[in-house]
């Protein structure tokens, strides 16, 4: 018996690799605790992601000549516009990640507000109508998929129910957006995000790299999508930049690896399986 998980990727690739960055900046710290707006020390962690993390990540991606997708809240676009413009100048994809990183899946009105304010900020500040969306912390509601379809999104990357793209089906039987699944094991936050309010150990780059490489080896064997989730304030730290560089080189040591943006992956999957 064989359960076939392989996908036909462009150029005969064995695996598709998405390097994604959730550019939350200070919203990571204010969205769950508004009192943090008065705590410069806490906010400085998010600001590091904009001031140092994004430029060093862009430098690393430029040197490797690989594309990435930056899921960015509208607040970040408004308050770190110069860094967002750097991302676009380098040819990377800018995607939607709410307005303020608020977890609003239990409040329909707030979810609509977060969606539309984020869209307005992306359009007003940098002229972008995004094709992709990722919810803060993977928190979603049934309403989300209606909002994404009604607002013309191509894809979502918020669920963890597979390693391959698939098309959502709406309650009325119609087509929804394409899903590009992710998982916490391939997210830097569980391994290296520290907060005094919820303290946990910061894992070494060796431990994180080992986990990420093990996942890559098997997803490569399966022929699926490797969706790596990073945050500039975490993976923009010096040792994590070294890990990013190491991971790109490691994946390139395998034949037939396709590095692509979320929009490219979703479109390629649709072209192959829905045309």
CATH number, position 70: 3.20.20.370
- Region of 86 on the Ramachandran plot (φ > 0 left; ψ -120 to 50 alpha; else beta): alpha
pLDDT-based confidence at residue 59 (cuts at 50, 70, 90): very high
Q: Looking at 41-50, 74-83, 131-140, 256-265, which range is the least confident one?
A: 41-50
- Provide the residue range defining the domain that includes 114: 10-274
DSSP three-state, residue 228: strand
Residue 5 counted as domain residue = no
Instruction: Render the burial of 191-220: b for 16+ CB within 10 Å, e for the rest.
Output: bbbeeeeeeeeeeebeebbeebeebbeebb
CA distance 207 to 44: 26
Res 104: pLDDT: 77
Residue 83 counted as domain residue = yes
Residues whose CB falls within 8 Å of the CB of residue 37, separated by 6 or more in sequence, listed in order: 30, 43
Residue 165 counted as domain residue = yes
| pLDDT tens, residue by residue, 238-264 | 999 999 999 999 999 999 999 999 999
Residue 4 counted as domain residue = no
More confident residue, 257 or 196: 257
Q: Report pTM.
A: 0.96
Q: Domains in the chain: how many in total?
A: 1
Cβ atoms of 152 and 177 within 8 Å: the answer is no
| pLDDT tens, residue by residue, 71-98 | 999 999 999 999 999 999 999 999 999 9
CA distance 120 to 99: 9
| pLDDT tens, residue by residue, 201-225 | 899 999 999 999 999 999 999 999 9
Residue 1 counted as domain residue = no
Residue 106 counted as domain residue = yes
CA distance 30 to 25: 10
**Token pair listed for 108:** 């329909």
């Amino acid at each position: 018996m064989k359960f076939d998980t392989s996908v036909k990727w462009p150029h005969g690739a064995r695996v598709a690799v998405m390097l994604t960055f959730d550019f939350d900046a200070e919203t990571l710290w204010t969205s769950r605790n508004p009192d943090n707006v008065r705590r410069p020390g806490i906010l400085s962690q998010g600001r590091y992601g904009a001031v140092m993390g994004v430029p060093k990540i862009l430098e690393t991606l430029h040197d490797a000549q690989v594309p990435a997708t930056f899921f960015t809240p509208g607040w970040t676009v408004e308050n770190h516009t110069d860094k967002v413009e750097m991302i676009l100048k380098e040819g990377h994809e800018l995607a939607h990640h709410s307005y303020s990183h608020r977890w609003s899946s239990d409040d329909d009105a707030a979810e609509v507000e977060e969606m539309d304010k984020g869209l307005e900020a992306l359009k007003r500040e940098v002229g972008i109508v995004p094709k992709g969306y990722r919810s803060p912390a993977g928190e979603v509601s049934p309403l989300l998929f209606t909002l994404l379809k009604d607002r013309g999104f191509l894809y979502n990357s918020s669920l963890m129910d597979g390693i391959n793209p698939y098309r959502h089906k709406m309650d009325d039987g119609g087509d929804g957006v394409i899903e590009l699944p992710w998982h916490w094991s391939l997210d830097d936050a569980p391994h290296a995000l520290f907060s005094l309010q919820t303290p946990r150990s910061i894992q070494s780059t060796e431990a994180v790299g080992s986990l990420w490489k093990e996942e890559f080896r098997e997803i490569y064997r399966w022929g699926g999508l490797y969706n790596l989730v990073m945050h500039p304030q975490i993976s923009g730290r010096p040792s994590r930049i070294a890990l990013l560089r190491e991971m790109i080189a490691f994946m390139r040591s395998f034949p037939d690896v396709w590095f692509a943006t979320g929009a490219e992956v979703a479109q390629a999957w649709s072209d192959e399986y829905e045309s």
